Homo-oligomer: A and B are copies of this chain.
Amino acid sequence: MNQTFSYKQLFNFTYQVFLKMGCNEEHAILATRVLLSADMRGVDSHGVARLSGYVRLWEAKRINARPNIKIVHETPSTATVDGDAGLGLVVAPFAMQVAIEKAEKAGTGWVAVKNSNHFGIAGYHAMMALEHNMIGIAMTNASAIVAPTFSVERMLGTNPIAVAIPAHDEPPFVADFATTTASNGKLEILQRKNEDAPDGWVQNLNGESTTNANALKEGGALLPLGGDKEHGSHKGYALGSIVDIFSAVLGGASYGPWTPPFPAYVPVPENMPGAGLGHFFGAMRVDAFRPLEEFEEHMDNWIKRFRSAKPAPGYDKVLIPGDVEREMETIRSKDGIPLFDSVVKELNGVGEKMGVGLLSNEADKI
C-alpha cells in the first residue's frame, strides 16, 4: 500500500535530513530539489526512496557534506571539476552551471567531473540548459552491474544519458535513459511482485539470458540495451562504455568495475584508478549553430510531425521523449507523491536517526 505526500512535505523532510548531514542551506535546498524532481517526474527509483542510501554513504564517510567543489583544469570550452567527494546532487548542478557559462562565451561548454557521488536523475541536470536556450547533455557512470556482450563479469553501470532540447510552443524534448535494456529499478519491482522478467533484461552466472528476476542478486548481471548480440547488445555495450569513458577516464574518476558502488555496505573496490565516480556534462547554445527563432520553429515542427506519426493499432498516439515524465509531473503536482509503505518506513528510520522526526507525521497534515 501507498501513502501520499505533498511536494512540500517531502521537501521539508528531505531538506532537514541534508541539513543534519551537515550540508549548508544552499546545498541542502539544491540536493532536495534534484532528488524530488525524480519523484515528481515518476522516476521513483531515483527520488526520496534513495535518501537512506545517501545517508548510509555519508555515515560510511564516503560523502563529504561540506565539499570544496572546484575547477581543476580548463580551456575556453571545457573544464574538469573535482567534486571533493560531495553529494552528486550538488556537484552535478555546479558542473552543469560551469558548462552553461562556458557555452555563453565559447558556443558550447563540456565538463568532466571526478570525485563525485550518485547525482540523482540525469534529466534534471540536462534540463538546466533549457532556460538558457541551450541543448543540455548529462551522463554518469555507476556501480558495475552490467556485463559486456559475451561476458559474465559485471563491468559497467547502467550508465544513463540525458539530452534536453528546447522548443518554442512545444514542450522540450527530454530523453533520459539507462544504456541497459531495463534499469535495476524495474527489475526490483518485479522481484517485489515475485514476477518473471522479460527475456533480454538479465543473465545468470553462466551468461545465459534468464527470466529469473532475482538473477542479478544471485551473481548474474544486467544486459546492455539490445539484450544479446543478435539484437544489438554490442551497441548498448558501446554506449555504456562511452558514458564510462567520458564520465570517468576523461576527468580522472574511477571507472568500469572499479566504480564505487552506491550501496554503502558494498566495500569500495581496491586499487581504484581514479577518484570517486564521474559525470560528464555538455551545454550547446542553439544560436551557436543557427538563429534561435529558426531552430525553435523547426524544433516545434519536428515535435508536431513526430506526434502526428501514424500510431500502431491499439495506440492513441506517438510519444516524444519526455512526454510520460511531464504528464506524471502534472498529476503529482496536483495529487501529491505516493510512496510505498516500505519506503515511508525506511524514511521514518532516517528521520529518527537524524533527529528530524517521522515522515509519517507529515502525512497527517494533508
Residues of A within 8 A of B (CB): 73-78, 80, 105-108, 110, 112, 135, 147-153, 155, 163, 165, 173, 175, 177-182, 198, 200-201, 206-207, 225-227, 230-232, 234-239, 241-242, 244-246, 249-252, 255-257, 273-274, 284-286, 288-290, 294-295, 298-299, 301-302, 305-306, 309-313, 315, 317-319, 321
A286 touches B250 (CB 8 A): yes
B298 touches A78 (CB 8 A): no
Q: How far is the CA of A321 from the CA of B110 in the complex (A)?
A: 24
- Residues of B within 8 Å of A77, CB to CB, are 76-77, 106-108, 288
- The secondary structure that dominates the A interface is mixed
Nearest B-chain residue to A255, judged by Cβ:
B302
| Contact pick for A177, options B173, B234, B290, B313, CB 8 Å | B234
A165 touches B245 (CB 8 A): yes
- Residues of B within 8 Å of A231, CB to CB, are 181, 198, 200-201, 227, 231
Q: Add 4 more A-B contacts to A227-B231, A245-B299 (CB < 8 A).
A: A76-B107, A135-B250, A151-B312, A177-B235
The minimal Cβ–Cβ distance linking A75 to chain B, given in whole angstroms, is 3
With A302-B245, A309-B151 as contacts: A110 and B284 at CB distance below 8 Å: yes
Q: How far is the CA of A179 from the CA of B241 in the complex (A)?
A: 16
- Residues of B within 8 Å of A290, CB to CB, are 73, 80, 112, 250-252
The minimal Cβ–Cβ distance linking A258 to chain B, given in whole angstroms, is 8
Q: How far is the CA of A240 from the CA of B148 in the complex (A)?
A: 22
A310 touches B152 (CB 8 A): yes
With A231-B198, A245-B302, A298-B274 as contacts: A148 and B309 at CB distance below 8 Å: yes
